[in-house]
Amino acid sequence: MKILITGGAGFIGAHVVKRFVRNYPNYQIVNLDKLTYAGNLENIKDIEKEPNYQFVKGDISDLEFIRGLFKEHQFDGVIHLAAESHVDRSITDPLAFVTTNLVGTAVLLQVAKENWKADYSGKLFYHVSTDEVYGSLGAEGFFVEDTPYDPRSPYSSSKAGSDHLVRAWHHTFNLPVKISNCSNNYGSYQFPEKLIPLFINNIIHNKPLPVYGEGVNVRDWLFVEDHAAAIDVIFHKGEMGETYNIGGNNEWRNIDLIKVLCKQMDEKLGRDEGTSEQLITFVKDRAGHDMRYAIDAAKLMNDLGWAPTVTFEQGLSKTIDWYLSNQEWLDNITSGAYKDYYDAQYVNR
C-alpha cells in the first residue's frame, strides 16, 4: 500500500507519519507538507532515512502539483491532516484558512477521484477534522457523530466546510472516505502558539501566562499518541463512509488545567509551589470564544475497540518532560522565522 499523508511535518501529522512508517514497513509513506511556520522537519528527523518513507514539500491547494504527485506515486490511500488550525490566526487572516482547509481539501478529493477512476477497490480518503465544527456546548451534554454542525470561527467554519466536501465526494462520486473529529490534542512537537507548550515555555522563562476571560472555558484533552493510535484503527478497521469522534474523556476548565500545569512545572523545575501560578495574567476574552467542547467517543470505543491510554495528569507529565528535555527544539521554534508567531502570545482554542 502506498499512502499520502498530508501535513506530516506538523504536530499531529508527525506522530501519525512515524506510527505508520514504523508499524507498517510494507507500506510506502509519502509525507507532503508545505512547511509553514507550524511544519518542522525536525519533528520527523528520526525517520527520514527509513526505506519506506519519503518527504515532499508542496501545497495541497496547487491543483497541477497534486495531480503530478498522484501520477508519480499512484497512491492507494490518503490521510489528510494538513490544515491551518489556530482560531486566533483565523480571526486575523481568515482567507488563509479558506484556501488551505477548503480549496486544499477539494483539490485532494478531486485528484484522488481522477486518479482512481472509479476503481475504488483498496482505496481510501481519510479526512482528519476537529470537534470545533459542532459549535459550543452548555454545561452538560456531549458531541456525538450526528450532532448538527454549528461552527463559530473562520477556522471551525473552514473545517466544517471541508468535512462537507468530503461527504459530497462520497455521496456524489462514491469516493471511499472516512472522517474523524477530535478534541484538543496535546503532547510533544506541538507548536507553542497552543496553551500547553506556550505556557511550559513561558514558565521556563518566567514570562506571563495569558488566560482568556476568567479561564472558565472547558475543553476535552486528547494525548496526541492516543490520537495517532485512533487514526491507525479507523484507517484499517473503520466502516467506509462513517464518521468517528475521538476524545480523551479529559474535560478541564482552562484555569484548572493551568494550575495543574503550574504545579507540575514547579515540581520538575525545583521551584517553590505556587511560583508559576503567580505568572497567570487574565486578558480580554477572545471574540466568539466557545464555552465548552466535550466528545462522546463511544462509537469508536465500542465498534473499533480504541480507548485512551493515559489520564490527563499522566499525559501532561510526559509532555512537560519532553519539552524540558528538548529545550533546543523549543528555542529554535520560538526564535528566527517563528518568533513573530510566538511573541503574539496566542492562547489555545
Q: Is residue 325 part of a domain?
A: no
d(CA 112, CA 18): 23
Q: How many domains does the chain have?
A: 1
Instruction: Flag whether 169 is in a domain.
Output: yes
Q: pLDDT value at position 343?
A: 52
User: Residue 331 has what pLDDT?
Assistant: 87
Provide the pLDDT confidence category of residue 46 given band limits of 50, 70 and 90: very high
Does residue 133 sit within a domain?
Answer: yes
pLDDT one-digit tens code per residue, 162-187: 999 999 999 999 999 999 999 999 99
Q: Is residue 280 part of a domain?
A: no
Query: Containing domain of residue 153, as a range?
Result: 2-186+221-248+291-310
Q: Which three cell numbers stand for residue 333?
A: 521554534
131 annotated active-site: yes
**Span 284-326, pLDDT tens digits:** 988 878 889 999 999 999 999 999 999 999 999 999 999 999 9
Question: What is d(CA 257, CA 181) in angstroms, rounded to the nearest whole number?
Answer: 22
- The CB density around residue 78, as the number of other CB atoms within 10 Å, is 23
- In the chain, DSSP finds a helix count (H) and a strand count (E) of 13, 12
Helix runs in the chain, H state only = 11-23, 63-73, 87-92, 94-97, 104-116, 154-173, 195-204, 224-237, 254-269, 298-304, 312-325, 327-333, 339-343
What CATH number should be reported for the domain holding residue 42? 3.40.50.720
pLDDT band at 200; cut points 50, 70, 90: very high
Q: What is the mean pLDDT of the chain?
A: 93
Given 132, 163, 226, 251, the catalytic residue: 132
Is 37 designated active site? no
Name the active-site residue from 155, 293, 342, 346: 155
Question: What is the tens place of the pLDDT at every residue in 250-285?
Answer: 999 999 999 999 999 999 999 999 999 999 999 998
Residues with Cβ within 8 Å of 220's Cβ and at least 6 positions away in sequence, in order, are 131, 183, 184, 247, 248, 249, 250, 251, 293, 294, 295
**pLDDT reported for residue 194:** 87
Q: What angle do CA 168, 174, 176 make, to 5 degrees?
A: 95
How high is the pLDDT of residue 348?
39
Q: Is 325 exposed, middle or buried (0-12, 13-18, 19+ CB in 10 A)?
A: exposed
What mean pLDDT is predicted for residues 20-47?
A: 95
Q: Which three cell numbers stand for residue 341?
A: 508567531
What is the rounded CA–CA span in Å between residue 325 and residue 235?
32
Q: Which position among 33, 131, 163, 251 bears the catalytic label?
A: 131
Confirm whether 265 is domain-assigned. Answer: no
The pLDDT value given to residue 338 = 54
Q: Look at residue 32 and tell me if it is in a domain.
A: yes
Structural domain contains residue 324: no
Per-residue pLDDT band for 340 (boundaries 50, 70, 90) equals low
Cα-to-chain-centroid distance, residue 88? 15
Give domain status of residue 227, yes or no: yes
CA 265 to chain centre: 24
Closest CA to 283 of 266, 300, 258: 258
Q: How many angstroms separate the CA atoms of 116 and 173, rounded?
A: 11
- Give the neighbor-by-neighbor strand order of the sheet with 184-186: 184-186, 218-223, 251-253
Q: Are 235 and 126 in contact (CB under 8 A)?
A: yes
Would you tell me how many other CB atoms lie within 10 Å of the CB of residue 4? 26
